[in-house]
Structure 1
Amino acid sequence: MKLHRLTLTNYRGITHRDIEFPDHGVVVVSGPNETGKSSMLEALDLLLEAKDRSGKKEVKQVKPTHADVGAEVTAEISCGVYRFVYRKRYHKKPETELTVLAPRREQLTGDEAHDRVRAILAQTVDLDLWQAQRVLQSAPTSAVDLSGCDALSRALDMVAGEVDATPAQGAGNVETLLIDRIDEEYRRYFTATGRPTGEWAAATTRLRAADQEVATCAAAIAEVDEAVRRHAALTDELSGLSVESTCATERLTQIRAAAQTITTLRGEVEQAGVRAQAANSAHEASLAALTERRRARADIDDRTATVERLQAAAAEAAEALDTAGEVQVAAEEAAVEARATLEASQVRVDTARSAVQRLADREEANRIAARLGTIERHQREFDAVRRALTAITLTAEHMAAIEKASAAHDRAAAAVEHTSAHVELVAEADLELLIGGEPVTLQAGRSWQSGVSGPTDVAVPGLLSVRVTPGASAAGTQAALDAAATTLAQALERAGVSGLAEAREVDQRRRDLQAAGREARVALDALTADDSADALRARLCELRENQPDDDGLFDLATGGPHDPAAQRRELIDATAAHQQAVRDCETHRKVAEEAAKLLAQRGVHAARAKEKLQAARDELAAAQLRLAAQRDAVGDEQLALKAEADGEAVAAAQAHLTRLGDELARHEPETVAAALAEAERAAEGVAARRDQAAEALREVATALKIFGTEGRKGRLDAAETEREHAEAEYRRVQRRARAAQLLKSVMGRHRDAMRSRYVDPFRGEVERLGRIVFGESFEVEVDSELRIGHRTLSGRTVPYESLSGGAKEQLGIVARLAGAALVATEDSVPVVIDDALGFSDTGRLAKMAEVFDAVAGDGQVIILTCSPQRYADVQTATHIELSA
């Protein structure tokens, strides 16, 4: 299979794209991200697999969002002897068109075209190989599995010598067709996982159902036999239970008579107990009355003692109240005196603080006045500097221009000196000369020399005239000197100076003034950093306004100014005395408060003591009245005699109760009660078992009557006959299923053996290409499924899954290219590599380029990438660049 052309129209974000692919070799299709490189492969798959009216999610996702049109895909493909152009439009007005160009021209549309392409591909293309020969950016990096590719299997068989090197058309599919027929026969009886299905499962199910039916019918017959046996057993059991019930009834009657005697004795005991309890209650009442009489006498004695104790406590509380009143008066007087002392000390502190504050204000005013004088002095200096600077017109820019023009003038003068002609005249005798029109006198033996940059005349009046003309270069340098002189003169004029020396002197004076101005400015900024001069003047005025008259700052006793140290000591002493007065005042206040609280507490205590004394007197009088009334009703001696008589009655009732209790104990009531309960349980149990046996006998008899009408024996015979037929069918199908299973197993072993033989050619091709990338020590281990399991490099073997992402990607490409190199030309399919080798370094990319060049034969290798520089070293590659 070869892809010659692919055209996309309105596909996802692609408006139109038409690409022609070379028939063989490596083609690199490059473009930025999201230009639809991966969409090209997706579009080709949809074209070959999905119908134009398909509602699959994959088809819906490619509908363009920028226009209400249908996505179109057109491809020109050749496979086997066929070459065709295939076009589909999806979504809006779907249609399918097929034009077969070879071996004979055909034109089909709709589903007929789709079915025709599917038939051509099934006949000429190994679709498993077409899917396997892809390296996708979204696919996992697991080892590629090529075991299901028939085209590669045929190629490896041919390399391994298993088939004729020139097979007839279609002969390579013989083994595949045979295995498919074996698999088809195997699938009639087993699933892919080996579980029974189809005829084998149906025969097994039928036999299992027949066995279950026979077992059910046999169980039904056994149920009838069990019912007959149970009927006879229940009849015998019911007869025995009738005799046992009679014996249990007689024993229950005897035990109930004994229990009745015990019940009579227990009633007499209860009556005697009631009488004894009544006598005991009467005795307790008489004892209680006697005890109450004694308690009343004792209570009166206690209340009398309480009244005496409360009288003493009330007198003591009254005395304490008087003492607390005296203390409270004294504490109030001390507190008043302490408050007066505090007020006097506060006046002293205020006076001392005011005097100290006046002295502090005077000192602050003096400091501010001195500071303002300094500020004004620096301000005058700063203003003088500014006035001096204003008079100077020379600026730093002017000076820089003058220095630059002077340097240029010096360079030009030096150039003139270097290029000018030099004239030297030596006088043999005294001479009068005219040089340049100027008279020059030379004495004998003297010389005159000068550089000449322009035409100059030298003449001896009346004797000789010489004209010296310098060369062109000297004239040029003289012109440059004149220009430099003009520039220097202009710069000096702008600066207002006459020469370079004066300019430098003025510039130095300007810099000195600027430095003095900066110093004055810094001093002013430092002096006014916290407060401005205006703020200081306002503060000074405020302080002077608040100053007292002159006599307020003088000590009238000494006739001189107040001593600041003495004033501060006076403030400290006054403050200390005031703090002490505050503490004393607070102490006396608290003492007065505590005295008031003590007076209130003792007043309350005295009132409560008085109330308690009056209440105790009232309670004593009431108790004496109650005792007198009780004695009028019953005397103390009568109460004692009644209590003694009630005690004797209690003793007599208790003795009678004891005799009856002994009589009851001799009859052993607990034993009789236990025996009665046991006899009742036994009688009830026998009766229940007899009723259950009778009911079970009736149920069995009824069931036997029903069993006789069901025909269970006939059903058992029919079930046994069905089982014989099912077992015969089961054995027949079992033989065929086992035969198919055995044939599949044998063919599987045969195919595995063949694969183990053609693994070597595949491994050899992988190692041949891999050594280009990894070096001569590269080896791989390939299993029977043609998957790479281990890689060996420099004697070190590493499992495939433990390799880095880049190494896995490189091995995956090498394995696919090895398969493409082994497959026959007529079975080849394009190898598609989508944005791979992103984890490879520069060296590996160069080696992979050599691999691509090594397999660039008859097959197609299509590389989709956003980084074409990765494949720049592929010498045989054709590059196609996509626009964004």
Structure 2
Amino acid sequence: MKLHRLVLTNYRGITHRDIEFPEHGVVVVSGANEVGKSSMVEALDLLLESKDRSTKKDVKQVKPTHADVGAEVTAEISAGPYRFVYRKRFHKKPETELTVLAPKREQLTGDEAHERVRAMLAETVDLDLWQAQRVLQSAPMTAADLSGCDALSRALDVAAGDAADDPAPGGAVDTLLIDRIEEEFRRYFTATGRPTGEWSAATARLRDAEQQVAQCAAAMAEVDDAVRRHAVLTTDIARIAGESSAAATQLATATRAAEDVAKLRADLDQATLRAQAADTAHTASQTALTERRRSRAEIDERNAAITRLQAESAAAADDLETAAEVKIAADEAAEAAREALTASQQRADTARAAVQRLADREEADRLAARLAAIERHQRELDALSAELATMTLTDKLMAAIEQAAAIVDRAAAAVENASAHVELVATTDLEVTVGDTTVTLDAGGRWEAGISAATGVDVAGVLSLRITPAASAAATQEKLDLVTATLAEALQQAGVDDLVAARTLDLRRQELRAACQQVRAVLEALTVDDSADDLRTRLAAVQQRLPAEDGLFDADPAALEPAAQRLELLEATAAHQEAIRDCETHRKVAEQAGRLLAERELNAARLAQKLQSAQQELAAITERLAEQRALLADDQLALKAETDAEAAAKARATVVQLSEELARHQPEAVAAALADAERSVAVVTARREEAAEALREVAAQLKVFGTEGRKGRLDAAETEREHAQAEFIRVQRRARAAQLLRSVMGRHRDAMRQRYVDPFRGEVERLGRIVFGESFEVDVDSALRIEHRTLGGRTVPYESLSGGAKEQLGIVARLAGAALVAKEDSVPVVIDDALGFTDAGRLTKMAEVFDAVAGDGQVIILTCSPQRYADVRSAHHIELVAG
């Protein structure tokens, strides 16, 4: 297979691209990132594999986002005897076109064209080899697996010597045989070895047949079990009838004994009720007698308590009187302490007010002095600012004056250099007119000047000449005049006559600005905490608090002394604190006296209340005892208690006699026997009913079983099991045979693969030594994957190699496969943006490898760095541009 031409239109970001590839050798397709190099491989795969109406994700992703059009891919390909042009448009108005150019011309469209291309490729191209011969930037760096490539297998068979023994294409025959064996194996097993198809169906049929036989046998066992149960139930019913008669006799005997016990229990209950009534009457009379005695004792106790409470109440009254006297004395002392505290407070307030007046006076003097300083500096600042405001000179204007003066100096120097110089020497006294200037020269006198403009020189009565300087001198003079005018204008704006005056004025302006800044700094320091207005407000507030001058001098002269005032304040404060402590002490004493008086008042009231309650209770008890004696005298109550005690004793004796009689009849044993008899009758009755019901159910089941034909179904199930078992054995033999044949052929195929591993390894080592040196060796497994690399006697697993080494070995392995494959089976080797991890030395060696395999096959390299492949001498370069 060879790719001759590839055209992309509206594919992703590619508007149109048309590339023609050479039929053999290395072609390097280069371009910037995202120019669409990898998209070319993707487009070719979509063209060959996907239909134009496909809605797969990979087809949807290539639709351009900048226009509502369909992506188009066209390719010219040759494969075996065929050469064709194949075009597809996806997404919008999809269509497929095929033009077969050789061996005979054909034109097809739609799905017919798609199927025709798939058939030609299947006939002539090893599609597994086409997918394997790629090194893509998006693929992981795993070892290349070329084991599934039939074209490479045939080439390795030839290289291993099989072609000499069998002139026919033996690799294809072996592959066909293995495919037939695999097809036969798949009739019975899945790819993982689980039963399927005929083998699974036969197994399932046998399993179902055995389950059916088991079910039918279980049904027949159920019939036999029902017959057996019918006989057993008939026998059980006869035996239970005899047990029922014996249980009825036992129940009658137990019932009579229970009736005798019940009569005795009723007599005992009546006697017990009479005994309880006698006990209740005796308890009531005994309680009344006890209550009569307790009332007499309680009256004696109440009399004694009243006498004690009367004494305690008298003592409490004396204590209350004493506490009242103490309370009055404590209140008087506390009032005196409060008056002393008030006097000391007034003294302290007076002393504090005097000290505060002195502090206010000092504060007023300090604020007045500070305000005077602020006002003085403010007047100074106003004066400086006023003088500074009269000056029209500014920094910018001074800079302009300095700049204009410098320009004037440079222009004057230029005029001096460019002007004509005139020198006059007088031989006698004479008067000379130069321009507008008259010059008088004595004999031997000398006069000279520079002339920058046309000037006349006249000597009265002797000569008249005109001096005209060069044009450059005139231009220089004009420039001088211009800049002189500019300087004069700037000086006029500044209000000065010349540069010296401007500099003097600027110096004064700088001094004024510095003085203003200094005065402002002083003002800021004076007003850092408070502004002048705030200070005036504070001064007014302080002055308002001060008394009038006359009133101040009317006071005691000693009071005007600050030290005396402060000493008085200290003494008054100390006296006030002492008065506070005394007042607090007397207050606490008064409070304690009040609490004592309240406690004693409460105690006296409580004792009086107790005395009153005791007197009331004594009166109530005395009244209740008199009422009881009026109803029944104490002697009569004692006699009644004795009579009730005798009646209660007789009633208890009768209860004991009846209880002993009831115990002799053993009521618990009689009740247990009755319960056993009733339980036996109930059990026997339930068993008889249960057996009768079970017998009816079994009889009904036997009637149903007789109509189901279970024996016939069992015979049919056993026959089906015999047929299923025979079919199972037949399919089992065929499945085991296919399994064994596949296993044997697999071992044979692995052995054959080991034979052609050596040619592949030899070609890999031949190309690899160009890159890695003569000590390069590799280990290759039966799947043609590189497992280890040996270099300089050191063997390293493939997975442990660096990214650059893996990339290089991957390219070498694919180029080795391309070199071994027959010319008619070759496919393009596609390398997408590889060797990015390769150093400069290895890049040169890899270029030699590309040159070594640049034969009849195609090697297409896609890269954004064409300089990596600059050393490939046989390469054909194609540069891509965006669009």
TM-score between the two structures when normalised by the length of structure 2:
0.76
How many Å apart are 1:184 and its aligned residue? 1.3
Give the corresponding residue for 2:119. 119
**Whole-angstrom CA distance in 2 between matches of 1:669 and 1:743:** 94
Residue deviations 1:681-719 (CA, integer Å, cap 9, x gap): 445444444444444444444444444444433333333
Q: Partner letter of residue 525 of structure 2?
A: A
1:208 equivalent in structure 2: 207
Partner of 1:84: 84
SS at 1:100 equivalent: strand
CA distance in structure 2 between the partners assigned to 1:295 and 1:101 by the alignment: 144
Shift of 1:310: 5.2
Q: Provide, for residues 727-766 of structure 1, a one-character-per-residue CA deviation record: whole Å limited to 9, x for no partner.
A: 2222222222222111111111112222334344445555
Q: What's the CA shift for 1:112?
A: 0.4
Residue 339 of structure 1: how far off its partner (Å): 4.6
Partner of 1:149: 149
Residue identity opposite 1:878 in structure 2: H
Closer, same or farther: CA 123–333 of 1 in aligned 2, 3 Å: farther
Q: Does the aligned pair in 1 maintain the 2:153–2:171 contact within 8 Å? A: no
Match of 2:289 in 1: 290
- Does residue 96 of the first structure (1) align with residue 96 of the second (2)? yes
1:458 aligns to what? none
Give how far 1:360 is off.
2.7
Q: State the secondary structure of the residue aligned to 2:188.
A: coil
Corresponding residue number in structure 2 for 1:651: 649
Judging changes above 3 Å, is the alpha-carbon distance between structure 1 residues 682 and 858 closer, same or farther for their aligned structure 2 residues? farther
Between the aligned partners of 1:829 and 1:630, the Cα distance in structure 2 is: 139
CA distance in 2, matches of 1:845, 1:588: 113
Letter in 1 for 2:718: E
Indicate whether 1:27 and 2:39 are aligned.
no
Question: Separation in 2 of the partners of 1:567 and 1:845?
Answer: 107
Letter in 1 for 2:882: S
- CA 1:278–1:843 in structure 2 vs 1: closer, same or farther (change >3 Å)? farther
User: Does the 8 Å contact 2:28/2:866 carry over to 1?
Assistant: no
Cα deviation per residue 1:857-881 (whole Å; 9 max; x = unaligned)?
555555666x648947674473544
1:739 equivalent in structure 2: 737
Pairwise CA distance, 1:665: 3.8
Does the 8 A contact of 1:259 with 1:672 survive in 2?
A: yes
Gaps of 5+ in 1: 417-437, 442-479
Partner of 1:471: none
Q: 1:683 to 1:388 in 2, by over 3 A?
A: closer
- State the shift of 1:113 in Å: 0.9
> Measured at CA, do residues 707 and 516 of structure 1 come closer, stay the same or move farther in structure 2, by a change above 3 Å?
closer
**Which of 399-408 and 826-835 deviates more?**
399-408
Contact 2:227 2:702 in 1 (8 A): yes
Give matches, 1:168-207, under 5 Å: 172-207=171-206
Distance 1:203 1:607 in 2: 116
Distance 2:677 2:772 in 1: 102
Describe the shift of the 1:724–1:337 C-alpha distance in structure 2 as closer, same or farther (beyond 3 A): same
Q: Contact conserved, 2:393 with 2:506, CA < 8 A, in 1?
A: no
Give per-residue Cα distances to partners, 1:64-110, cap 9 Å, x unaligned: 55544433333333333333222223333222211223333221111
Q: Once structures 1 and 2 are overlaid, which stretch shifts more, 117-126 or 530-539?
A: 530-539
Give the direction of change, closer, same or farther, for the CA distance of 1:193–1:509 in structure 2 (3 Å limit): same
Which of the residues 707, 713, 724 maps onto 1:715? 713
Question: Counterparts of 1:777 and 1:877 in 2: how far apart (Å)?
Answer: 32
TM-aligned CA deviation for residue 117 of structure 1: 1.5
Change (3 A) 1:679 1:380: same
Partner of 1:617: 615
How many residues align? The count is 826
Match of 1:633 among 631, 634, 643: 631
Give 1:453-492 correspondences, 5 Å limit.
none
Cα distance in 1 for partners of 2:635, 2:790 equals 129
Distance 1:530 1:729, change over 3 A: same
Give the direction of change, closer, same or farther, for the CA distance of 1:6–1:618 in structure 2 (3 Å limit).
farther
Corresponding residue for residue 468 of structure 1: none
Is the 2:189–2:196 Cα contact (8 Å) retained in structure 1? yes
1:676 and 1:642 map into 2 onto residues whose CA distance is 48
CA contact (8 A) 2:405 2:499 kept: no
Aligned pairs (5 A) from 1:501-512: none
**Share of identical aligned residues, percent?**
67
Cα distance in 2 for partners of 1:769, 1:591 equals: 121
Contact 2:237 2:688 in 1 (8 A): yes
Report how far residue 600 of structure 1 moved.
6.2
Check the 8 A contact 1:825/1:858 in 2, yes or no.
Answer: yes
Q: Contact between 1:399 and 1:507, CA under 8 Å: does it hold in 2?
A: no
Question: In structure 2, how many angstroms separate the alpha carbons of the residues matched to 1:310 and 1:808?
Answer: 119
CA change 1:701–1:376 in 2 (3 A) is closer
2:370 touches 2:526 (CA, 8 Å); kept in 1? yes
1:771 Cα deviation after fit = 6.7
Change (3 A) 1:388 1:49: closer
Give the aligned partner of residue 427 of structure 1: none
SS for the counterpart of 1:188 is helix
For 1:407 and 1:605, locate their aligned partners in 2 and report how far apart those are by CA, in whole Å: 123
Distance 1:196 1:359 in 2: 120
Q: Which deviates the most, 366-375 or 502-511? A: 502-511
Match of 1:445 in 2: none
The equivalent residue for 1:73 is 73
Q: What is the deviation of 1:115?
A: 0.9
Give the conservation status (yes or no) of the 8 Å contact 1:320–1:602: yes
CA contact (8 A) 1:555 1:562 kept: no
Residues 30 and 866, structure 2, Cα contact 8 Å, conserved in 1: no
Aligned CA distance change for structure 1 residues 365 and 223 (closer, same or farther; 3 Å): closer
Preserved CA contact (<8 Å) 1:7 1:19 = yes
Matching of residue 278 in structure 1 with residue 277 in structure 2: yes
How much does 1:116 deviate?
0.9
CA RMSD of aligned residues (A): 5.3
Indicate whether 1:347 and 2:346 are aligned: yes
Please state how far the C-alpha of 1:326 moved relative to its aligned partner. 5.0
Deviation readout 1:303-337 (Å, 9 max, x if unpaired): 44555555556556655665565555555555554
1:729 aligns with 2:705: no
From 567, 570, 574, the counterpart of 1:569: 567
Residues 412-811 of structure 1 aligned to structure 2 (within 5 Å): 522-532=521-531, 535-536=534-535, 539-540=538-539, 543=542, 547-550=546-549, 557-558=556-557, 562-582=560-580, 610-611=608-609, 613-763=611-761, 781-789=779-787
Distance 1:56 1:378 in 2: 91
Which AA in structure 2 matches 1:45? D
Structure 1 window deviating more from structure 2 (45-54 vs 19-28): it is 19-28
Show the counterpart of 1:47.
47
Shift of 1:204: 1.9
Q: Report if the CA contact (8 A) 1:845-1:870 is conserved.
A: no
- CA distance in 1: counterparts of 2:691 and 2:344, whole angstroms: 121
- What amino acid maps onto 2:713 in structure 1? R
C-alpha change, 1:544 and 1:695, in structure 2 (3 Å) is closer
Counterpart CA distance in 1 for 2:212 and 2:85 is 65
Q: Compared with structure 1, are the counterparts of its residues 870 and 389 closer, same or farther at alpha carbon in structure 2 (3 Å cutoff)? A: farther
Partner of 1:129: 129
Distance in 2 (CA, whole Å) between partners of 1:251 and 1:191 is 78
Relative to structure 1, is the Cα distance of residues 671 and 339 closer, same or farther in structure 2, using a 3 angstrom cutoff?
Answer: same
CA separation in 2, counterparts of 1:293 and 1:840? 129
Quick one: distance in 2 between partners of 1:172 and 1:828?
A: 16
Structure 1 position 199, deviation (Å): 1.6
**Paired residue type of 2:749:** R
Question: How far apart in 2 are the matches of 1:538 and 1:552?
Answer: 24
Unaligned runs of 5+ in 2: 418-440, 445-475
Counterpart CA distance in 2 for 1:872 and 1:622 is: 135
| 1:120 CA drift (Å) | 1.9
